[in-house]
Protein backbone atom coordinates (compact mmCIF):
# COMPACT_ATOMS: atom_id res chain seq x y z
CA UNK A 1 0.00 0.00 0.00
CA UNK A 2 1.19 3.50 -0.79
CA UNK A 3 1.45 5.48 2.46
CA UNK A 4 1.43 9.16 1.53
CA UNK A 5 3.03 10.47 4.70
CA UNK A 6 3.40 14.08 5.69
CA UNK A 7 6.92 15.02 4.43
CA UNK A 8 8.24 15.82 7.91
CA UNK A 9 6.84 12.58 9.29
CA UNK A 10 8.28 10.60 6.39
CA UNK A 11 11.79 11.66 7.41
CA UNK A 12 11.19 10.55 10.99
CA UNK A 13 9.47 7.31 9.93
CA UNK A 14 12.49 6.22 7.93
CA UNK A 15 14.51 5.88 11.13
CA UNK A 16 11.86 4.39 13.42
CA UNK A 17 12.16 0.79 14.60
CA UNK A 18 9.04 -1.30 14.15
CA UNK A 19 7.21 -2.17 17.35
CA UNK A 20 7.70 -5.84 18.16
CA UNK A 21 6.28 -7.50 21.28
CA UNK A 22 7.86 -10.93 20.68
CA UNK A 23 9.93 -10.28 23.82
CA UNK A 24 7.86 -7.72 25.76
CA UNK A 25 10.35 -7.39 28.61
CA UNK A 26 13.19 -6.57 26.21
CA UNK A 27 10.96 -4.08 24.36
CA UNK A 28 10.07 -2.45 27.67
CA UNK A 29 13.70 -2.18 28.78
CA UNK A 30 14.71 -0.53 25.52
CA UNK A 31 11.79 1.90 25.73
CA UNK A 32 12.67 2.83 29.32
CA UNK A 33 16.20 3.75 28.27
CA UNK A 34 15.02 5.96 25.42
CA UNK A 35 12.39 7.70 27.57
CA UNK A 36 14.81 8.38 30.42
CA UNK A 37 17.39 9.86 28.04
CA UNK A 38 14.73 12.05 26.40
CA UNK A 39 13.55 13.47 29.73
CA UNK A 40 17.11 14.09 30.89
CA UNK A 41 17.78 16.15 27.77
CA UNK A 42 14.77 18.45 28.22
CA UNK A 43 15.24 21.91 29.79
CA UNK A 44 13.92 22.46 33.33
CA UNK A 45 10.19 23.16 33.53
CA UNK A 46 10.29 26.31 35.63
CA UNK A 47 6.67 27.19 34.86
CA UNK A 48 5.34 23.81 36.01
CA UNK A 49 5.94 22.22 39.41
CA UNK A 50 6.58 18.50 39.01
CA UNK A 51 6.40 16.11 41.96
CA UNK A 52 6.27 12.34 42.30
CA UNK A 53 3.78 10.70 44.69
CA UNK A 54 2.00 7.45 45.46
CA UNK A 55 -1.78 7.43 45.10
CA UNK A 56 -2.81 4.65 47.47
CA UNK A 57 0.12 2.61 46.22
CA UNK A 58 0.06 3.63 42.55
CA UNK A 59 3.04 5.78 41.46
CA UNK A 60 1.98 9.08 39.91
CA UNK A 61 3.73 12.22 38.69
CA UNK A 62 1.87 15.49 39.24
CA UNK A 63 2.32 18.51 36.97
CA UNK A 64 0.98 21.81 38.32
CA UNK A 65 1.36 24.95 36.17
CA UNK A 66 2.26 28.03 38.17
CA UNK A 67 -0.56 29.82 36.30
CA UNK A 68 -3.24 27.31 37.32
CA UNK A 69 -5.93 28.65 39.61
CA UNK A 70 -7.16 26.67 42.61
CA UNK A 71 -9.13 24.55 42.64
CA UNK A 72 -7.77 23.58 39.20
CA UNK A 73 -9.20 21.19 36.65
CA UNK A 74 -7.26 17.93 36.47
CA UNK A 75 -6.38 15.33 33.85
CA UNK A 76 -5.57 11.72 34.75
CA UNK A 77 -3.12 10.84 32.00
CA UNK A 78 -2.28 7.27 30.92
CA UNK A 79 0.83 6.56 28.86
CA UNK A 80 0.86 4.37 25.79
CA UNK A 81 3.04 1.36 25.07
CA UNK A 82 0.79 -1.51 24.04
CA UNK A 83 -0.18 -2.21 27.67
CA UNK A 84 3.27 -3.78 28.13
CA UNK A 85 5.70 -0.85 28.11
CA UNK A 86 5.76 2.88 28.77
CA UNK A 87 6.41 4.88 31.91
CA UNK A 88 6.09 8.26 33.59
CA UNK A 89 9.17 9.31 31.63
CA UNK A 90 7.74 8.22 28.28
CA UNK A 91 4.66 10.36 28.93
CA UNK A 92 6.57 13.31 30.37
CA UNK A 93 6.63 15.49 27.27
CA UNK A 94 2.89 15.18 26.59
CA UNK A 95 1.90 15.60 30.25
CA UNK A 96 4.04 18.72 30.56
CA UNK A 97 2.68 20.17 27.33
CA UNK A 98 -0.96 19.57 28.27
CA UNK A 99 -0.45 21.06 31.74
CA UNK A 100 1.05 24.21 30.23
CA UNK A 101 -1.40 24.67 27.39
CA UNK A 102 -4.64 23.72 29.19
CA UNK A 103 -3.57 25.27 32.53
CA UNK A 104 -4.71 22.18 34.35
CA UNK A 105 -3.09 19.83 36.81
CA UNK A 106 -1.98 16.63 35.10
CA UNK A 107 -1.62 13.44 37.12
CA UNK A 108 0.39 10.94 35.07
CA UNK A 109 -0.35 7.35 36.14
CA UNK A 110 2.34 4.66 36.29
CA UNK A 111 -0.05 1.71 36.04
CA UNK A 112 1.06 -1.93 36.21
CA UNK A 113 2.05 -3.52 32.91
CA UNK A 114 1.30 -6.77 31.11
CA UNK A 115 2.16 -9.55 30.66
CA UNK A 116 3.17 -9.76 34.33
CA UNK A 117 0.05 -7.78 35.26
CA UNK A 118 -2.66 -8.35 32.63
CA UNK A 119 -6.14 -6.84 32.65
CA UNK A 120 -7.63 -5.68 34.97
CA UNK A 121 -4.46 -4.59 36.84
CA UNK A 122 -3.81 -1.40 34.85
CA UNK A 123 -7.47 -0.41 34.90
CA UNK A 124 -7.71 -1.08 38.63
CA UNK A 125 -4.72 1.22 39.14
CA UNK A 126 -6.50 3.89 37.12
CA UNK A 127 -9.64 3.57 39.23
CA UNK A 128 -7.56 3.76 42.40
CA UNK A 129 -6.02 7.03 41.22
CA UNK A 130 -9.46 8.38 40.25
CA UNK A 131 -10.82 7.67 43.74
CA UNK A 132 -7.64 9.04 45.37
CA UNK A 133 -7.90 12.25 43.35
CA UNK A 134 -11.53 12.73 44.33
CA UNK A 135 -10.91 11.97 48.01
CA UNK A 136 -7.87 14.24 48.21
CA UNK A 137 -9.09 17.03 45.93
CA UNK A 138 -8.81 19.74 48.57
CA UNK A 139 -5.20 18.96 49.50
CA UNK A 140 -4.28 18.52 45.83
CA UNK A 141 -5.88 21.86 44.96
CA UNK A 142 -8.06 20.34 42.22
CA UNK A 143 -11.76 20.47 41.43
CA UNK A 144 -13.38 17.02 41.79
CA UNK A 145 -16.16 18.15 39.42
CA UNK A 146 -13.64 18.86 36.63
CA UNK A 147 -11.71 15.62 36.22
CA UNK A 148 -10.73 14.37 32.77
CA UNK A 149 -9.18 11.08 31.72
CA UNK A 150 -6.97 10.68 28.70
CA UNK A 151 -4.04 9.08 27.00
CA UNK A 152 -2.56 7.84 23.77
CA UNK A 153 -2.80 4.35 22.27
CA UNK A 154 -3.13 1.83 25.12
CA UNK A 155 -3.46 4.81 27.46
CA UNK A 156 -6.45 6.01 25.45
CA UNK A 157 -8.01 2.58 25.75
CA UNK A 158 -7.48 2.62 29.51
CA UNK A 159 -9.03 6.09 29.74
CA UNK A 160 -12.11 4.97 27.78
CA UNK A 161 -12.40 1.83 29.91
CA UNK A 162 -12.11 3.90 33.07
CA UNK A 163 -14.93 6.19 31.93
CA UNK A 164 -17.14 3.12 31.41
CA UNK A 165 -16.16 1.62 34.77
CA UNK A 166 -16.76 4.85 36.70
CA UNK A 167 -20.18 5.21 35.07
CA UNK A 168 -21.21 1.65 35.89
CA UNK A 169 -19.90 1.73 39.48
CA UNK A 170 -21.34 5.15 40.18
CA UNK A 171 -17.80 6.25 40.99
CA UNK A 172 -16.24 9.70 40.99
CA UNK A 173 -17.51 11.87 38.15
CA UNK A 174 -15.46 12.19 34.97
CA UNK A 175 -16.07 15.36 32.99
CA UNK A 176 -14.16 14.66 29.77
CA UNK A 177 -12.30 12.00 27.77
CA UNK A 178 -9.16 12.77 25.71
CA UNK A 179 -8.67 9.73 23.47
CA UNK A 180 -5.59 9.91 21.24
CA UNK A 181 -5.20 7.07 18.72
CA UNK A 182 -6.85 4.84 21.34
CA UNK A 183 -6.62 1.03 21.45
CA UNK A 184 -10.26 0.01 21.87
CA UNK A 185 -10.97 -3.28 20.07
CA UNK A 186 -9.13 -6.56 20.51
CA UNK A 187 -10.97 -8.15 17.57
CA UNK A 188 -8.92 -6.23 14.96
CA UNK A 189 -11.55 -6.70 12.25
CA UNK A 190 -11.81 -3.14 10.92
CA UNK A 191 -10.58 -2.12 7.47
CA UNK A 192 -7.53 -0.31 8.88
CA UNK A 193 -6.67 -3.14 11.28
CA UNK A 194 -6.66 -5.75 8.54
CA UNK A 195 -4.81 -3.73 5.87
CA UNK A 196 -2.17 -1.60 7.61
CA UNK A 197 0.50 -4.30 7.89
CA UNK A 198 3.50 -2.12 7.12
CA UNK A 199 2.77 1.26 8.66
CA UNK A 200 5.57 3.10 10.47
CA UNK A 201 6.28 2.47 14.16
CA UNK A 202 3.14 0.39 14.86
CA UNK A 203 1.18 -1.82 12.48
CA UNK A 204 -1.53 -4.46 12.61
CA UNK A 205 0.98 -7.21 13.37
CA UNK A 206 2.10 -5.35 16.49
CA UNK A 207 -1.54 -4.85 17.49
CA UNK A 208 -2.15 -8.60 17.11
CA UNK A 209 0.84 -9.29 19.39
CA UNK A 210 -0.29 -6.72 21.95
CA UNK A 211 -3.78 -7.85 22.86
CA UNK A 212 -3.03 -11.45 23.96
CA UNK A 213 -0.37 -10.11 26.34
CA UNK A 214 -2.91 -7.80 27.98
CA UNK A 215 -6.01 -9.99 27.99
CA UNK A 216 -6.27 -13.24 29.96
CA UNK A 217 -8.00 -16.13 28.24
CA UNK A 218 -11.78 -16.18 28.32
CA UNK A 219 -14.56 -13.66 27.84
CA UNK A 220 -13.30 -10.17 27.01
CA UNK A 221 -14.61 -7.39 29.22
CA UNK A 222 -15.74 -4.13 27.60
CA UNK A 223 -13.66 -2.37 30.26
CA UNK A 224 -10.62 -3.93 28.57
CA UNK A 225 -11.82 -3.37 25.00
CA UNK A 226 -14.35 -0.51 25.14
CA UNK A 227 -15.55 -1.12 21.57
CA UNK A 228 -17.28 -4.21 22.94
CA UNK A 229 -19.49 -2.13 25.25
CA UNK A 230 -23.14 -2.35 24.21
CA UNK A 231 -24.26 0.85 25.95
CA UNK A 232 -22.32 4.11 25.63
CA UNK A 233 -25.01 6.37 27.05
CA UNK A 234 -24.17 8.60 29.98
CA UNK A 235 -20.45 8.79 29.22
CA UNK A 236 -18.57 12.10 29.40
CA UNK A 237 -17.91 14.18 26.27
CA UNK A 238 -14.86 13.18 24.28
CA UNK A 239 -12.17 14.42 21.96
CA UNK A 240 -10.95 11.64 19.66
CA UNK A 241 -7.78 11.99 17.58
CA UNK A 242 -7.02 9.52 14.79
CA UNK A 243 -4.12 9.08 12.38
CA UNK A 244 -4.62 8.27 8.70
CA UNK A 245 -2.23 5.30 8.53
CA UNK A 246 -2.91 3.79 11.93
CA UNK A 247 -4.30 0.24 12.24
CA UNK A 248 -6.35 1.53 15.19
CA UNK A 249 -7.88 4.36 13.14
CA UNK A 250 -11.21 2.80 12.24
CA UNK A 251 -12.02 1.43 15.69
CA UNK A 252 -11.54 4.94 17.10
CA UNK A 253 -13.74 6.48 14.39
CA UNK A 254 -16.40 3.82 14.98
CA UNK A 255 -16.30 4.46 18.73
CA UNK A 256 -16.67 8.21 18.21
CA UNK A 257 -19.70 7.65 15.96
CA UNK A 258 -21.27 5.29 18.50
CA UNK A 259 -20.74 7.88 21.24
CA UNK A 260 -22.53 10.44 19.08
CA UNK A 261 -25.38 8.00 18.50
CA UNK A 262 -25.60 7.57 22.28
CA UNK A 263 -26.08 11.35 22.61
CA UNK A 264 -22.54 11.93 23.90
CA UNK A 265 -20.85 15.08 22.62
CA UNK A 266 -17.76 14.21 20.56
CA UNK A 267 -15.11 16.14 18.65
CA UNK A 268 -13.41 13.82 16.15
CA UNK A 269 -10.25 14.89 14.37
CA UNK A 270 -8.74 12.67 11.67
CA UNK A 271 -5.20 13.81 10.80
CA UNK A 272 -3.85 13.28 7.28
CA UNK A 273 -0.47 11.85 6.35
CA UNK A 274 0.08 10.59 9.88
CA UNK A 275 0.76 7.28 11.62
CA UNK A 276 0.10 5.88 15.11
CA UNK A 277 0.92 8.36 17.91
CA UNK A 278 2.84 10.50 15.41
CA UNK A 279 2.90 13.46 17.80
CA UNK A 280 4.79 11.36 20.35
CA UNK A 281 7.64 10.23 18.08
CA UNK A 282 7.81 13.39 15.94
CA UNK A 283 6.91 16.22 18.34
CA UNK A 284 8.57 18.95 16.28
CA UNK A 285 6.73 18.26 13.01
CA UNK A 286 4.21 20.96 12.09
CA UNK A 287 1.32 18.47 12.02
CA UNK A 288 2.28 17.31 15.54
CA UNK A 289 2.42 20.85 16.86
CA UNK A 290 -1.04 21.55 15.41
CA UNK A 291 -2.42 18.36 16.92
CA UNK A 292 -0.99 19.12 20.36
CA UNK A 293 -2.42 22.62 20.32
CA UNK A 294 -5.84 21.34 19.29
CA UNK A 295 -5.98 18.55 21.88
CA UNK A 296 -5.00 21.01 24.62
CA UNK A 297 -7.68 23.46 23.52
CA UNK A 298 -10.25 20.65 23.48
CA UNK A 299 -9.19 19.59 26.97
CA UNK A 300 -9.43 23.14 28.29
CA UNK A 301 -12.91 23.55 26.79
CA UNK A 302 -14.02 20.18 28.14
CA UNK A 303 -12.99 21.18 31.65
CA UNK A 304 -14.62 24.61 31.65
CA UNK A 305 -17.70 23.27 33.39
CA UNK A 306 -18.73 20.09 35.24
CA UNK A 307 -20.34 17.31 33.22
CA UNK A 308 -24.08 17.37 33.93
CA UNK A 309 -25.35 14.41 35.92
In eight-state DSSP terms, residue 226 is G
Name the residues annotated as catalytic: 153, 246, 276
If we measure between CA atoms, which residue out of 280, 235, 278, 276 comes closest to residue 255?
235
CA distances from 154 to 92, 106, 181, 208 (A): 16, 18, 9, 13
Non-local CB neighbours of 2 within 8 Å, separated by 6+ positions: none
**What is the SS3 assignment for 228-251?**
HCCCCCCCCCEEEEEEEECCCHHH
**C-alpha R_g of the chain:** 18
If we measure between CA atoms, which residue out of 215, 163, 158 comes closest to residue 188?
215
End-to-end CA distance of the chain: 46
Amino acid sequence: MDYRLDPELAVVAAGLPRTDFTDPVAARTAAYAVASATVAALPPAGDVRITDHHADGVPVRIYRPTTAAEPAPVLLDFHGGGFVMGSLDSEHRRALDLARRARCVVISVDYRLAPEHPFPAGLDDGYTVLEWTSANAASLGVDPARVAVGGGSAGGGLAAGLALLARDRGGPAIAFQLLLCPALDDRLLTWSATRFTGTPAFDSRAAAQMWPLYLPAGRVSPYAAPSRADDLTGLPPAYVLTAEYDPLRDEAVDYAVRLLQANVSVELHQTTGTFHVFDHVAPDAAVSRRARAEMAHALARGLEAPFPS
